[in-house]
Amino acid sequence: MTTPGSAGRPATNSVTARWEGGWRCRVEAGGFSLVVDEPESVGGTGAGPMPTEYMLTAMASCYALALAWAAGKRGITLPDLAVTATGTYEGPRFSRLQFTVVSTAAREVIERLVEPALRVCYVSNTIATSPPIEVTVGTDAEGPARSYP
């Protein structure tokens, strides 16, 4: 894994979500177009995963890549590696986040990689030490953009 700003990786990254009505957005990310929606049972159209599912997707995939990287650095292979990220809802947030790791490699082999992989997983590190969230409201006829803590 490389650190931000090195080996061609930008020091910042952005995605843009455009509201399409109801509970649906189209997100442009890394040259890809993603649909975000809510299930029909809560007023969405079910046209795509929920935002929280994308968050869990980011967690699971980042940790899977981190495990593969940590294994590779040690000359280990992890056949059939799969990582499941599970979030437990409590109000408008997750109260618990959990990874479940499965591979045909021996449990002891995987257990030795858990901590090294956590150290290099950008997504879980960001969530574990959550940075402040800032909101900037764009420029309009009344003046320059404003930021809110």
Q: Would you kindly state where each structural domain of the chain is located, as residue ranges?
A: 12-49, 50-130
Contact yes or no for 78/67 (Cβ under 8 A): yes
CATH number of 50-130: 3.30.300.20
Instruction: Indicate the average pLDDT of the chain.
Output: 92
CA dist., res. 132 & res. 113, Å (int): 30
pTM for this predicted structure: 0.86
pLDDT at 2: 47
Confidence of residue 7 (pLDDT cuts 50, 70, 90): low
